Amino acid sequence: MFRKKEFWIVFTILVILGIFFVIKYFPVVMPFVNLDISMDRKQAFTEASILANKYGLGPDKYEQAAIFDGDFYTQIYVELEGGGKEIFSEMLTGELYKPYKWQVRLFKENETKEAKIWFTPDGKPYGFLEKLPETEEGTNILPDSARLIAEIFAGNWNINLAEYELVETKKDEVICGRIDHTFVYERPDLKINEARYRLQITVSGDKITELRHFVKIPEAFKRRYQEMRSANNTISIGGIIVMAILYGIGGIVVGIFILMRKRWLL
């Protein structure tokens, strides 16, 4: 069969068609992201240390670990239901939300207290989250005072809260009696389909322990996406089973039988 001219003609045509198929559809299946990253890992460590010293974040004599990561769940939502890849590309170049960012973790072995600090790809501080032990005490203040501290702090980070509205507040009391106040702000004028741009600020005692930008994805989409993933996983498992059967029975059993009949297998 391999010596026949017709076989190689058909094989060549199939290879060429396969190449064109991959060139056309690979960017759809595995889209490329055009992103300018001007901050490197060393700079992220340096800037994180500066912010940690300024705001007293993380444990004493901490270690650092950095990762450049993306908010892939938001990316999936925007590409599927928020307008497509063009809208996501506009998000990358805009200032409303940065789905890709540097994350520097400040930690110490065997200690609960740690901090995460985020930077935009071009090196601007983008937020932080400090995890405090429930045994660490703080100076408790009234909700209105905590909100005032949160909004003044946001202004120091060049965030114009006049463009936001307060949509959620939460108060938690931990084991030691410290009260943590969380405030969630939302842009009422801007959204991506049903998703909302949000800002979350947490005041633990009288100290800011969180300033985080995020996109609130509708719960209905999360359920639909889980169903979609479940269907895709079922198809994937079915494909693996079929491939195993074809390879095991057709490739191994039948192949060995043919080779033995032709005395090519000793």
For residues 38 and 122, the answer to whether their CB atoms sit within 8 Å is yes
Cα–Cα dist 130/117, whole Å: 8
**Region 24-37 average pLDDT:** 70
Pairing of strands 179-192, 100-107: unpaired
pTM over 0.85: no
pLDDT the model gives residue 23: 82
Per-residue pLDDT at 3:
66
Q: What is the pLDDT of residue 112?
A: 94
Residue with tokens 């928020």: 82
- Confidence (pLDDT) at 22: 80
What pLDDT digit, counting tens, does each position of 53-62 carry? Answer: 999 999 999 9
Q: How far is the C-alpha of 258 from the C-alpha of 65, rounded, in Å?
A: 57
User: What are the residue boundaries of the structural domains of the chain, listed by start?
Assistant: 33-221
Distance separating alpha carbons of residues 117 and 211, to the nearest angstrom: 9
**pLDDT for 30 beyond 70:** no
Instruction: Specify the pLDDT at position 2.
Output: 57
The answer on pLDDT for 13 being more than 60 is: yes
129: Cβ contacts below 8 Å, ≥ 6 apart: 115, 116, 209, 210, 212
| Mean pLDDT over the full length of the chain | 90
What token pair was written down for 158?
Answer: 């060049």
The answer to which of 30-34, 88-92, 244-248 has the lowest mean pLDDT is 30-34
Q: Taking residues 101-128, report their average pLDDT.
A: 96
The residues that bridge with 68 in the sheet, in sequence order, are: 102
pLDDT of residue 250 exceeding 80, the answer is no
* Amino acid 222: pLDDT: 87
pLDDT band at 1 (very low <50, low <70, confident <90, very high): low
With a pLDDT cut of 90, the percent of the chain lying above it is 63
Lowest mean pLDDT among 45-59, 80-94, 152-166: 80-94
- 212-225 pLDDT, tens digit per residue, is 999 999 999 988 88
DSSP string computed for 99-140: SEEEEEEEE-TT-S-EEEEEE-TTS-EEEEEEEPPTT-----
When pLDDT is averaged across residues 112-140 and rounded to a whole number, the result is 96
Given a cut of 80, is residue 121 above it in pLDDT? Answer: yes
Higher-pLDDT residue of 211, 245: 211
| Res 125 pLDDT > 90 | yes
The DSSP code for 246 is I
